[in-house]
Amino acid sequence: MEEKKKKYFHRIVGIGVFISLYIGIISGIGFTQISLLRILLTLTLLLIGGLIAGYSLYSIERKYRGVRVKLRTYVVGSLVVFIYYYLIFLIIFSFPVFSLSVKIKLILLNSLFLLAIFITYTSPMAKIMSRKAKRVPEDLTHKIEKLKKDMGVEDAEVYVIDLDDRKVANAMQVGARGRYIFISSYLLKNLNLEENLAVIAHELAHIKFRHVAKTAFLVYPMLIIGMNIFVLLPLFPLSKANTLLLQVVAIWIPIIFIIFVVPIIRRSFETQADVEAAKYVGSKNMISALEKLSDLALIPRNVSRYWNLWHPSIDMRIKKLYTLKNND
């Protein structure tokens, strides 16, 4: 089983790397000289990349997890990801060439950031998802309400998303405001009641410690400062070469911070959520839930931290929980 998990993990990560590099390279080529023809050519290349990524995901999910979702679902999903990130790059790289005053550029730029912060806080997509989702089963409802009260997060709402067809075993807390928790129906059906409570307690802990808000507080200021410096630098009495160099630095420092520093902080948040949840549901149930999650989602138990993922390895999380259990 562990060998199968590793093969699946490496292939999924490989597709992720391909998507990142492909979008970066193609967008970089497209933005060396912005024009309608370049944009159309770049979009065409991105569509080809999306088709490749979608088919690859489709093949891997069928082979390793027996998922029987139609090919078009993966293709459409991949295309959405490609176009979404392309549009972000388009805004960032085309923004400086707009024939606008620096003042107007700064107003537009910071308005976009304020809008992003507002969306992160209010979570409009989570509200839409909650309307389409289902409530948790009745046998869990009363236990969840008690758990919310005990943990001091009574305003949290827990919903079930039907992902049986994709065999998605996952739960997530959405929004900096800390209100919505979504758990997949596939995970709910494959864990027992106590294990499901452990998963929900983990997400409630994220709300309690405001982990999403803290992550946003780390990311947005870095991006805001970097982009504002990028726009303001041409006003300084510097050579064109020095201005360009400093603009590259202004852009890449936030990116490097997000890629290499934020995941370290996020991993500490995951450990904190595990520890807090274990206080209310017991280390045994948390460990059991993590073990089953590893099998259901084909997550290797031991993933090196050098992958720089947002979660510690399952083994590390279990080891920490065993320490707590032995100290009880």
Of 97, 116, 137, at which residue does a domain stop? Answer: 97
Question: Is there a single domain that holds both residue 121 and residue 84?
Answer: no
Question: Is there a single domain that holds both residue 249 and residue 303?
Answer: yes
Residues of the chain with pLDDT under 70: 27-35, 90-100, 304-308, 325-328
pLDDT, residue 95, reads 61
Question: Is there a single domain that holds both residue 230 and residue 86?
Answer: no
Give the whole-angstrom CA distance, residue 240 versus residue 75. 43
Please give the residue range of the domain that contains residue 161: 98-327
pLDDT, residue 304, reads 67
Name the pairing type of β-strands 171-174 and 157-161: unpaired
Question: Is there a single domain that holds both residue 3 and residue 104?
Answer: no
The domain total for the chain is 2
The distance of Cα 276 from the centroid of its chain, to the nearest Å, equals 22
**Helix segments in 137-210, DSSP class H:** 138-151, 185-190, 193-208
Question: Is there a single domain that holds both residue 110 and residue 42?
Answer: no
pLDDT, residue 205, reads 96
pLDDT, residue 28, reads 64
Question: Is there a single domain that holds both residue 165 and residue 291?
Answer: yes
Give the whole-angstrom CA distance, residue 85 versus residue 31. 14
Of 54, 80, 97, at which residue does a domain stop? Answer: 97
pLDDT, residue 158, reads 94
Cβ atoms 195, 288 nearer than 8 A: yes
Question: Is there a single domain that holds both residue 89 and residue 197?
Answer: no
Query: What burial class does residue 78 get, using C-beta atoms within 10 Å of its C-beta: 0-12 exposed, 13-18 middle, 19+ buried?
Result: buried
Of 82, 97, 112, at which residue does a domain stop? Answer: 97
pLDDT, residue 34, reads 60
What pTM was estimated for this model as a whole? 0.88
Question: Is there a single domain that holds both residue 20 and residue 103?
Answer: no
Question: Is there a single domain that holds both residue 258 and residue 270?
Answer: yes
Question: Is there a single domain that holds both residue 125 and residue 65?
Answer: no
Question: Is there a single domain that holds both residue 72 and residue 17?
Answer: yes
Question: Is there a single domain that holds both residue 29 and residue 66?
Answer: yes
